[in-house]
Homo-oligomer: A and B are copies of this chain.
Amino acid sequence: MKIALAQLNYHIGNFDENIRKMTEAAQRASAMGAELVVFAELAVSGYPPRDFLEFDDFIQRCDSAARQLADACPDMGIIVGSPVKNTSGHGKPLYNAALFLYRHKITAFHKTLLPNYDVFDEYRYFEPGNTFEILHFKGVKIALTICEDLWNIGNDPLYNLNPMDELMKEKPALMVNIAASPFNYNQPHDRREVLRSNVLKYKLPLIYVNHVGAHTELLFDGGSMAFNADGFVQQSLAFFVEDLQLTDMAQLQHGQGSQADIQHIPEKIALIHDALVMGIRNYFDKLGFTKAILGLSGGIDSAVTMVLAAEALGAQNVFGLLMPSQFSSDHSVADALALARNLGAPEALVPIRDMFDAVEHSMKPLFQDLPFGLTEENIQARLRGLVLMAMTNKFGYILLNTSNKSEAAVGYGTLYGDMNGGLSVLGDLYKTEVFALAAYINREKEIIPLNTITKPPSAELRPGQKDSDSLPEYAILDELLFQYIEKRKGPAELVALGFDAGLVKRVLRLVNTNEYKRYQTPPILRVSPKAFGMGRRMPIVARYLS
């Protein structure tokens, strides 16, 4: 039996479009000789639908959409994810289900293990499934599971149950797992090893279908695949783009196919690059926007953001605005212009000096002769934010935020100033990772001017300012932040790792007391295992390491 793996880019709540795509894919798969087509988890609704799941109307539309798909392709076996009602009268009102559609009939299989950590909130909506049934299709017994159902493997299990252990009692011949497994730079590797562990444990071939595409901050890299029963990837779908491929049950049996993975996972920085480009593109596409604007400072963050946006939207659709102040160096303007020229992107220059003077003049009765300081630095950043937002209002751009994770962590940025934007492109990359990404972008030719990369980072908000005046060197800062944020090490553990005790105290305090700023920042494209935003939920008013 030939089975199609359909890896598509869905749009949350856009039922017509989701069903149209799936119908087209099912028909194409059928024409290619497939008898069964597999789509991703919650493909009908898009993922994550979040609190739309609490609306009866939304669930009814999911039901209708699934019915529409079943009726459009009655002779094809279809596996597709959708929320379904829990009609038992107790427990959460929904199940996260894998639907099997065939000959106008719809059968639901419920997800048992519901992830509720990091970016996941599934227990907010769903009742865990507690029945375990095999899907019988054309003589093949299929153990059908949903994403997390296969992840309770290894030491320290998070759940007290393995759905596959239950399903094995019925002696299935094939595992199928439909997933909504968001990208981070470890995930392609982690996912393949977890799936392989299942294959080796249960000695069955496995077909895995993931989402591809971006949903605001959550990026889905695809990477769907089929394992033979020996634990090797025999079919591998593309990363970061839609794909449809067939696999043959016969070739997934023991001793069949190759004794090596045919899947190639790109290196970390290439994954990040492709993820961010897809993230920008989908954000604009799915909101119906085409043009981006950003402030071009001549620095590395805005340069990298602009290159990624140009790849995502076309250089002609990315407007770079230069807004020098009296503290901007000549090279800032020159470097920014060189970048726009390299890309062939539109740019313009709006000096902020006159506006700054007008603000100073208007504030004079209240500020009197108080010295120039942080206030005036922030006024410059906020005027730039104001100018950029005026451009978005006048011409229909979306403003891209250019802050990086190191800055966001320690609060090195101005709320309502350079922290503005509809989407943060680099907010999950430490400064050292931004440098690595710049090098990757320049791997074949100098797109980002070399001077942008080699000069010492500076906000240029007062004379001669450098980031290193108020922050530790990024190589040290970033490693410390990584250990605190990604690894959740406490002060004693950090000191044991060799960090200076005073630095630890100072940096952790900065991270914790700047929670109020991060609360109001734009959504951040997530590429790490622990991004600011929905995956890291902290109190604002607290007194811990602060």
Residues of A within 8 A of B (CB): 11-14, 17, 46, 48-52, 54-58, 60-61, 89-92, 116-117, 121, 123-124, 156-160, 214-216, 282-283, 286-287, 348, 350-352, 354-355, 357-359, 361-363, 365-367, 370, 373-375, 378-379, 382-383, 385-387, 389-391, 393-394, 415-416, 420, 422, 488-493, 516, 519-523, 534, 536-546
CA distance A362 to B348 in the complex (A): 12
Q: Is the CB of A90 within 8 A of B157?
A: yes
| Pick from B286, B538, B544: contact of A543, CB under 8 Å | B286
Contacts A56-B490, A362-B355, A386-B359; A158 near B92 (Cβ below 8 A): yes
* Residues of B with C-beta under 8 A to A390: 359, 363, 367, 375, 378-379, 382
* Residues of B with C-beta under 8 A to A391: 366
CA distance A17 to B543 in the complex (A): 10
Q: Is the CB of A541 within 8 A of B12?
A: yes
Contacts A51-B536, A355-B359, A541-B216; A389 near B366 (Cβ below 8 A): no
CA distance A386 to B358 in the complex (A): 12
| Pick from B49, B286, B393, B493: contact of A378, CB under 8 Å | B393
Q: Is the CB of A160 within 8 A of B539?
A: no
Could you tell me the distance in whole angstroms from the C-beta of A280 to the nearest C-beta in chain B? 12
CA distance A50 to B519 in the complex (A): 14
What are 29 residue pairs bridging A and B, where the CB atoms are less than 8 Å apart in the complex?
Answer: A11-B542, A13-B544, A49-B542, A52-B542, A56-B490, A90-B158, A90-B160, A121-B124, A216-B539, A282-B541, A352-B362, A354-B361, A354-B362, A355-B355, A355-B362, A359-B386, A362-B387, A366-B394, A370-B394, A375-B393, A378-B389, A378-B393, A379-B390, A382-B385, A382-B386, A382-B389, A386-B416, A416-B420, A523-B540
How many copies of this chain does the complex contain? 2
Q: Is the CB of A283 within 8 A of B541?
A: yes
Could you tell me the distance in whole angstroms from the C-beta of A331 to the nearest C-beta in chain B? 23
Q: Is the CB of A539 within 8 A of B57?
A: no
Q: Is the CB of A357 within 8 A of B358?
A: yes
Q: Is the CB of B375 within 8 A of A348?
A: no
Q: Is the CB of A13 within 8 A of B50?
A: no
Q: Is the CB of A91 within 8 A of B539?
A: no
* Residues of B with C-beta under 8 A to A422: 516
In order of increasing CB-CB distance, the 3 nearest A-B pairs are A57-B490, A13-B544, A358-B358
| Extra 19 A-B pairs, beta carbons < 8 Å, given A92-B158, A350-B366, A422-B516 | A11-B542, A12-B542, A12-B544, A13-B542, A48-B539, A50-B537, A50-B538, A51-B537, A52-B539, A56-B488, A57-B492, A90-B159, A91-B159, A350-B363, A352-B362, A355-B355, A362-B387, A366-B394, A386-B416
